[in-house]
């Protein structure tokens, strides 16, 4: 019998959060004793589709047991998903909730589910940051991710729903990378009136685009314009320790929002659900299934129910709830007005306003 093999498909290797997704997947695979292959789609839907179909159509011994992927486009590759399920391959979608999942789960004999962060809440948190920094309102430059992706759309909806009526938004489109932010800002500055527009804050949907915009403005030849842009607050999302949080500590970003990587959770869900499925079809669903960690040597015992559909549903629901319950941690917002405000947002997270990033509560 072949080992449990997972194919992880990510959007790009030129983004810090995507690399953190890969790291969380490696840790989960090592802990569970699974084989892991990671491919990057270079922000291209056709490339991602081709990579996944090649794996699905491979020889059975080389075929992955499960595919975990973060879609480049908004459709989340429904035809590829159907081909994977037909080939007996598990299917997990990250940071998207495609409508075809319900249809697939009705007939699939493999685990099919999605794991998401609450992107609308992320957008609402950015609106709270803007309100703390601009209590009298103002104009913000918002750099969004690809408009066809769930993360970008939901973060935009959350931001717009919570912004004060006296705050005006100028929207630019990026591709989650520093370079894409620099390109869209450069194009915007070339417009006749853009360079002279009064912008009170730069709000990006991830840290990479926030820092990319800041770097672009820091290189302006007009010293007066450059100084003006360097005084503007820059807000991002993702809050990784070595990038977003470090940039806040260094004063390059004003604030970020910590979002946990979820690829590792999806891999654990695929493997656990596959163990359950195997036990069900052997008639051993009420027996204890053992999963041994190759990293720690620890053997964990899992007892599953006899009703696989109900268990799959509960597993999927718990994964989504777990990931959503941990996204709402803010980092580094420098505001005396905001510092006194604390609000609980979930069982394992809190919204914290601090003057200094390093002593924020661990997540």
pTM above 0.85, yes or no: no
- Do 177 and 238 fall into the same domain? yes
Overall domain count for the chain? 2
Query: What distance in Å separates the CA atoms of residue 363 and residue 359, rounded to the nearest whole number?
Result: 12
- Do 101 and 235 fall into the same domain? no
Residue 293 CA neighbour count, 13 Å, CB half: 12
Sequence-separated (6 or more) residues with CB below 8 Å from residue 355: 334, 336, 339
- Do 225 and 345 fall into the same domain? yes
- Do 290 and 210 fall into the same domain? no
- Do 246 and 127 fall into the same domain? yes
Instruction: Give the domain range for residue 71.
Output: 5-117+261-324
- Do 234 and 283 fall into the same domain? no
- Do 99 and 124 fall into the same domain? no
Query: Which residue has 């006296």 as its token pair?
Result: 166
- Do 165 and 204 fall into the same domain? yes
DSSP 42: T
pLDDT in tens, 177-216: 999 999 999 999 988 565 567 899 999 999 999 999 999 9
- Do 174 and 243 fall into the same domain? yes
DSSP 4: P
pLDDT in tens, 310-354: 333 333 333 333 333 333 344 554 433 333 233 323 323 322 222
- Do 167 and 253 fall into the same domain? yes
User: How far is C-alpha 219 from the chain's CA centre?
Assistant: 30
pLDDT in tens, 275-300: 555 544 444 433 333 444 445 555 44
Give me the CATH number covering residue 294: 3.40.50.2300
- Do 135 and 87 fall into the same domain? no
CA-based torsion, 131, 134, 136, 140: positive or negative: negative
- Do 134 and 240 fall into the same domain? yes
Query: What distance in Å separates the CA atoms of residue 71 and residue 47, rounded to the nearest whole number?
Result: 11
**3-class SS of residue 299:** strand
């Amino acid at each position: 019998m072949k080992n449990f093999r997972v194919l992880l498909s990510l959007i790009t290797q030129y983004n810090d959060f995507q690399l953190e997704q890969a790291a969380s997947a490696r840790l989960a695979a090592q802990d569970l004793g699974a084989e892991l292959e990671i491919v990057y789609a270079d922000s291209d839907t056709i490339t991602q589709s081709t990579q996944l179909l090649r794996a699905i159509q491979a020889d059975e011994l080389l075929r992955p047991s499960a595919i975990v992927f973060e879609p480049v486009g908004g459709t989340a590759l429904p035809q590829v998903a159907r081909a994977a399920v037909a080939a007996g391959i598990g299917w997990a979608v990250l940071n998207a909730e495609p409508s075809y999942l319900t249809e697939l789960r009705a007939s699939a004999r493999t685990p099919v589910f999605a794991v998401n962060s609450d992107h609308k809440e992320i957008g609402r948190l950015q609106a709270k940051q803007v309100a703390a920094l601009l209590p009298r309102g103002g104009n913000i430059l918002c750099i969004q991710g690809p408009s066809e992706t769930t993360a970008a759309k939901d973060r935009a909806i959350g931001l717009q729903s919570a912004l004060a009526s006296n705050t005006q938004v100028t929207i630019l489109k990026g591709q989650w990378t520093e370079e894409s932010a620099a390109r869209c800002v450069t194009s915007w500055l070339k417009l006749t009136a853009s360079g002279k527009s009064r912008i009170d804050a730069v709000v990006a949907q991830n840290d990479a685009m926030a820092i990319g915009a800041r770097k672009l403005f820091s290189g302006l030849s007009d010293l007066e314009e450059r100084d003006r842009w360097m005084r503007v607050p820059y807000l991002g999302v993702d809050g990784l320790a070595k990038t977003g949080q470090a940039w806040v500590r260094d004063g390059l970003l004003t604030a970020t929002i910590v979002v946990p990587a979820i690829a590792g959770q999806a891999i654990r869900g695929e493997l656990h659900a596959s163990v359950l499925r195997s036990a069900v079809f052997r008639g051993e669903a009420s027996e204890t299934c053992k999963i041994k960690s190759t990293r720690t040597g620890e053997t964990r015992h899992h007892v599953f129910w006899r009703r696989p559909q109900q268990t799959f549903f509960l597993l999927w629901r718990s994964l989504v709830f777990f990931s959503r319950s941990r996204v709402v941690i803010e980092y580094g917002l420098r505001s005396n007005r905001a510092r006194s405000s604390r609000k609980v947002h979930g069982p394992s997270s809190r919204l914290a306003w601090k003057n200094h990033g390093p002593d924020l509560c661990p997540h």
